[in-house]
């Protein structure tokens, strides 16, 4: 009786964030880089980072993903085991393991995120192997399945990525990242180098996958249409600082900071 009652009660336990970022800074010069950045990211949440060229978006993403050490600040990540890990006091090996397992990183240029000398199937299987999967059939099966999911003909499984178009390479990079069931994926302008029609298809695909897999994503883009389509929440950066943060629709429809207003209006009136 009590048990069935309890089941009907709304969940009162607040969801804990996945990532806690506090006062993160790395400056290459005055207002070059990023400074004083703090936020929480929750499971399944998509956070967009927008702002003009040079505002510090990529620097922030490199800090968040542990690829660069900050000059100040901290990042805590709550792992699958529910333990909090202080990213910068973790060892290099721990950070690398995270990036291969629970995290993913989709580079703007797929050539930076793929191994161009090995087949599409091997690109997908690699992260599974890093997690200890050795069974050939299982690796092959996952490769075929993921090619299918990112709309690449599975018959191309033994082909090298260099024989793929830019859009296909980007989809392969996404498959390679998602095969290991990450919880958090970083993306830096994932549609940046692609034709508009290819971009639209990739965005549709990404949107579906993010929802289906309940992924938390931090995505850098200077394209507000991409932000609108994918992000739940936005951070607007200017000259190394976050000038505004809020729900995507709120920021795009009713920006408060003068710079956000400029950013939004300059896109509406090209
Ligand atoms: N390794 C570095 N050494 C020196 N300066 C750097 C370095 N990396 C970035 N910067 C500078 O820091 C500032 C922020 O760069 P960042 O690449 O983070 O900007 P961004 O917002 O990603 O720009 P874009 O939209 O053009 O990619 C820029 O002025 C850049 O020149
Ligand atoms: Mg950048």
Rounded to whole angstroms, the Cα distance separating 167 from 225 reads 18
**What b/e sequence results for 31-61 when a residue is b if at least 16 CB atoms lie within 10 Å of its CB, and e otherwise?**
eebbbebebebeebbbbbbbbbeebbbbbbb
Residue % of the chain over a pLDDT of 90 = 81
Ligand 1 cavity residues, CB under 6 Å: 28, 32-33, 51, 53-59, 222
Neighbours of 169 (CB within 10 A): 24
Q: Helices 120-130 and 136-149 sit at what angle, rounded to 10 degrees?
A: 120
Contact at 8 Å (CB) between 200 and 223? no
Which is higher by pLDDT, 36 or 265?
Answer: 36
**What b/e sequence results for 128-157 when a residue is b if at least 16 CB atoms lie within 10 Å of its CB, and e otherwise?**
beeeeeeeeeebeebbeebbebbebeeebb
Rounded to whole angstroms, the Cα distance separating 38 from 80 reads 22
- pLDDT tens for each residue of 42-66: 999 999 999 999 999 999 999 999 9
- Mean pLDDT over the full length of the chain: 92
Radius of gyration of the chain (CA): 19
Nearest CA to ligand 1 atom 30: 54
Q: Which of 48, 53, 54 to mutate to test the pocket of ligand 1 (most atoms within 8 A of CB)?
A: 54
For the entire predicted model, the pTM comes to 0.91
> For residue 182, how far is its CA from the centre of ligand 2 (angstroms)?
23
Confidence of residue 10 (pLDDT cuts 50, 70, 90): low
* Beta carbons within 8 Å of 126's beta carbon, 6+ residues apart: 115, 118, 176
- pLDDT tens for each residue of 140-149: 999 999 999 9
For residue 149, give both structure tokens.
């999911």
């Amino acid at each position: 009786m009590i048990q069935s009652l309890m089941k009907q009660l709304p969940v009162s336990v607040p969801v804990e964030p996945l990532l806690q970022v506090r006062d993160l800074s790395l400056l290459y010069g005055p207002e070059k880089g990023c400074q004083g950045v703090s936020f929480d990211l929750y499971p399944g949440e998509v956070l967009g980072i927008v702002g003009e060229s040079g505002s510090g978006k990529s620097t922030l993403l490199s800090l968040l993903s542990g690829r660069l050490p900050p000059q100040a600040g901290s990042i805590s990540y709550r792992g699958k085991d529910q333990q909090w890990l202080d990213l910068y006091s973790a060892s290099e090996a721990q950070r690398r393991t995270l990036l291969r397992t629970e995290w993913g990183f989709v580079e703007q240029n797929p050539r930076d995120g793929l191994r161009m000398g090995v087949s599409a199937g091997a690109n997908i299987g690699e992260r599974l192997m890093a997690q200890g999967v050795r069974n050939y059939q299982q690796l092959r099966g996952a490769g075929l399945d993921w090619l299918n999911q990112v709309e690449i003909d599975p018959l191309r499984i033994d082909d090298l990525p260099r024989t793929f178009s830019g859009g296909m390479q980007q989809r392969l990079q996404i498959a390679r990242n998602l095969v290991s069931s990450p919880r958090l994926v970083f993306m830096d302008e994932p549609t940046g180098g692609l034709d508009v029609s290819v971009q639209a298809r990739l965005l549709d695909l990404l949107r579906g996958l993010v929802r289906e897999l309940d992924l938390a994503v931090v995505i850098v883009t200077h394209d507000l249409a991409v932000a609108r389509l994918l992000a739940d929440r936005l951070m607007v950066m200017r000259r190394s600082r976050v000038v505004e943060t809020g729900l995507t629709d709120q920021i795009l429809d009713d920006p408060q900071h003068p710079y956000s207003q400029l950013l939004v209006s300059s896109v509406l009136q090209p």
